[in-house]
Amino acid sequence: MRGERTEMPASEQRFLSALYTQEKMHTLKVARQAGAYAQAERVLKMEPADVIAAVKASNLRGLGGAGFPTGMKWSFVPPKGDRMHYLVVNADEGEPGTCKDKHIMRGCPHTLLEGIIIACHAIHAEKAYIYVRGEYVRPMERLSAAIDEACAAGLLGENHMGTGRRLVVVVHPGAGAYICGEETALIESLEGKKGQPRNRPPFPAIEGLFRCPTVVNNVETIAYLPFIFEHGPEKWSEWGHNGSGGYRLMSLSGHVERPGVYELPMGTPLMELIEKHGGGVWKGRGLKAVIPGGLSAPILRAEECADARLDFNTLRDMGTMAGSAGVIVIDDQTPMIDVMLNCAHFYHDESCGQCTPCREGTWWMYRIILRIAQGRGRLRDLDELVRIASNIEGNTICAFGEAAAWPIRSYARKFRDELAAFIESGERSREADWHHEDRGAPPLIQIEGVGMPGVRAGV
């Protein structure tokens, strides 16, 4: 059972991954044998304010990527009045490099539902929506089946778990838009509109879904709640590191021998993840760089990685971020121009188009980087990219602006020598041809001396 694992060294304990790797754990019968819903039953007898205090004490942070303290987010919800309160579970997993939430939905959906019961009790919500990215057809099937089973067993629905209250959980499919992972865009999308973020204030806790108080939490954040109440918030906080409580699912991808999702304590050294768990850089090659927290995290050069530990505060202090814990490893044979071009294309493609600095800025960054990749770069382009990125940062409604600006700026600054040498060589990257052939990038016209944003012909 769950409790026995507490005697193990912290680095060897497993929680969610111990469940979702077991066969049939998605069924209610097997999940209950493993202790599912026992914590929900206990928490439902607590005062909601005490539940929030416990979550605050656990140092649980938003694991979708923002790292906002979960208990504090809940405490912003006003006392229950006439309006409905909502919990919205963000399962629009789309930050490149992140592939953890689908394991929870597919492998142990009842743990997520138990977490939902706990969270809804804390924030006085009688309805929860799970917004799942549209491509996750199979995880959605599992989730829906689990909800049906839980309803039939009286764990959800009218008078759920004998509380005399109602709790309805609805699975809502997205339709393919990265921006819908942003909480206010997600709310717009859930209301049946284009996923374009809202201005804040009002914050969702005051006015969110259908203009009612709403808490939006990531799947993983919610799914850890039962474990926090099982082991106690103090223990959870202690297992973590530097202000981030407990554990998280770290997605390891790119140039490693064993890519995968590894559940490790907060503060695990980055190189331990890559070497011990991931088997090191693939094909015996050297390490060039690591993107430590999903594509929007600024890059770390190999020599910076030794000091990096995977928790929110440590990585923030290093000038990058823990984000969604999507760790992307890049080997020493990868040209940085290819990494930059791929990243710029992603943000250019996914900008929702609402704010001018982001819509135009991501377009310009992509075009300039594409031109460099085609062997027509100019040294001043690198400064230009930093300038454009800095003009996007802080000037948009949502954090997509920073997500697009930070990585590009970090590549231009940290790999300036390599990129400058590439520009001076006049070489052409094979990626550039492919962007033209397969990604519909328009042919380029070069006019001497024209290259500043505002003059389209130059880029």
Spatial contact of 105 and 91, defined as CB atoms under 8 Å apart = yes
Q: Which CB, 175 or 445, lies closer to other proteins?
A: 175
Q: Residue 339 has which token pair?
A: 């990494």
Q: Which CB, 117 or 344, lies closer to other proteins?
A: 344
Q: Which CB, 207 or 238, lies closer to other proteins?
A: 207
Q: Which stretch binds other proteins (CB under 8 A): 11-19, 27-35, 376-384, 434-442?
A: 434-442
Handedness of CA 446, 448, 453, 457 (dihedral sign): negative
Question: Min. distance of Cβ 404 from other proteins in angstroms?
Answer: 13
User: Would you call 151 exposed, middle or buried from its count of C-beta atoms within 10 A (0-12, 13-18, 19+)?
Assistant: middle
Q: Map the footprint of other proteins across residues 141-170, applying CB under 8 A.
A: 170
Question: Min. distance of Cβ 98 from other proteins in angstroms?
Answer: 7
Rg of the chain over Cα atoms, rounded to whole angstroms, equals 23
| 41 near other proteins, rule: CB under 8 A | no
Helices assigned H by DSSP within 124-181: 137-152
From CA 117, how far away is CA 212, in angstroms rounded? Answer: 19
Q: Map the footprint of other proteins across residues 289-328, applying CB under 8 A.
A: 291, 295, 326, 328
| 204 near other proteins, rule: CB under 8 A | no
| 343 near other proteins, rule: CB under 8 A | yes
Residues in CB range of 96: below 8 A, 6 or more apart: 294, 295, 326, 328, 346
User: Would you call 27 exposed, middle or buried from its count of C-beta atoms within 10 A (0-12, 13-18, 19+)?
Assistant: middle
| 254 near other proteins, rule: CB under 8 A | yes
Q: Rounded to whole angstroms, what are the CA distances from 136 to 120, 141, 146, 356, 440?
A: 24, 9, 15, 31, 27
Dihedral of CA atoms 191, 193, 197, 201 in degrees, nearest 10, equals -50
| 182 near other proteins, rule: CB under 8 A | no
- How many residues at the interface with other proteins, by CB under 8 A? 61
* Contact pick of 70, 189, 351, 354 for other proteins (by CB under 8 A): 189
* Contact pick of 51, 190, 228, 300 for other proteins (by CB under 8 A): 190
Residues that bind other proteins (CB under 8 A): 84, 93-99, 101-102, 127, 133-138, 170, 172-178, 189-195, 210, 251-255, 259-261, 291, 295, 326, 328, 330, 334, 338-339, 342-343, 346, 349-350, 352, 431, 434, 437-440
